[in-house]
Homo-oligomer: A and B are copies of this chain.
Amino acid sequence: MRSLRSATTLIRRTHSAPFHKSASRGYELIDGTAIAAAVRQEIKDEVATMKSTHGIVPGLAVVLVGSRKDSQAYVTMKKKACLAAGFDSMETTLPEDCTQEELMGVVDAYGADPKCHGILVQLPLPDHIDEEFVLDRISLEKDVDGFHTLNVGRLNKKGKLAPTSVACTPFGCVELLVRSGVQIEGANAVVVGRSNIVGMPVARLLQDLNATVTVCHSKTKDLPAAVRNADIVVAAIGRAEMIKKEWVKPGAVVIDVGINAVDDPTKKKGYKLVGDVAFDEVKDVASKITPVPGGVGPMTIAMLLQNTLLRAKAAVNEE
């Protein structure tokens, strides 16, 4: 009952939605950067209150194995976001060739640390480490990524025990919809992609909010037809600009989870980031749409902070 209910309560609150509509275009941009900033400001305010009332500061530990550039960049972003929200930020970096036991030792140490309310093991892990085993080692109380098998189980059944956390990216997708005033109950939602970390949990969250959900994937026989049936499209395939204008029902809401690098010689870096949706054409039929970058991306870290705050609150309540 604890944190998904809390989370659902949070996302059910109505917020002034920072979206942009101009006379020159028919669609509204769902501005993830602005919504994430609003979420982060709310969290910061709550943290200040928590600190003054209970003397508690939420603490997030991030564990990185190896030296992948992208993982390092994510860890740095998470650390900065923690500090900006007034959290304690803890970090451990282990070498690429560390043993699973060493990694477990770090997870267990944060598990025993009362100042740490959330543990995030940055994925992917090197091949010699059993990812599922490591993720299941994090206690439910500190599983701010929501990847523990018990949390996946709780998410996927109705019961007295809600997940302690819901995976950050799916949670962020739903938060974007709710804060943009999108009607989820009764809507036909089509999720394209069935990954553990996005497609499956976002489908389940939308169903919990009473959407009628269809999950599409590589074996779907007529993907354009399936997508055309959607009032809400969530694209999480990982293929650049795959979803075209003709696939989208006029007036549909489009959430683009994809982040794909495509060559672009006009850019200094030689590439640009695009989503799974052909934004430039789909915007002409969608009623609301997220850009890439600046849509779902910024929400992931905001929801990580949200999850950590909820876990810190739960720890206060259990004291």
Contacts and interface: CB of A to CB of B under 8 A. Distances in A.
Contact of A212 (B148, B153, B207, B226): B226
Contacts of A188: 221, 226
B217 A210 contact: yes
Given A186-B220, A212-B220, A200 B153 contact: no
Interface string A203-230: 0100100111111110111000010010
Contacts of A214: 212-214
Given A157-B200, A194-B207, 17 more contacts: A130-B160, A132-B160, A149-B154, A149-B161, A150-B153, A153-B153, A156-B200, A157-B196, A158-B196, A185-B219, A186-B219, A187-B221, A207-B217, A210-B217, A211-B219, A212-B217, A214-B214
Q: Kindly report how many copies of this chain are found in the complex they form together.
A: 2
A215 B213 contact: yes
Contacts of A185: 219
Nearest to A220: B212
Contacts of A132: 159-161
Interface in A111-141: 130, 132
The 9 closest A-B pairs by CB, nearest first: A153-B153, A149-B153, A152-B153, A210-B219, A214-B214, A156-B156, A157-B196, A186-B221, A212-B220
A307 interface: no
28 contacts: A132-B160, A132-B161, A149-B153, A149-B161, A150-B150, A151-B153, A152-B152, A152-B156, A153-B154, A153-B156, A156-B156, A156-B200, A157-B200, A158-B195, A158-B196, A186-B219, A186-B220, A186-B221, A194-B207, A207-B215, A207-B217, A210-B217, A212-B214, A212-B215, A212-B217, A213-B215, A214-B214, A229-B229
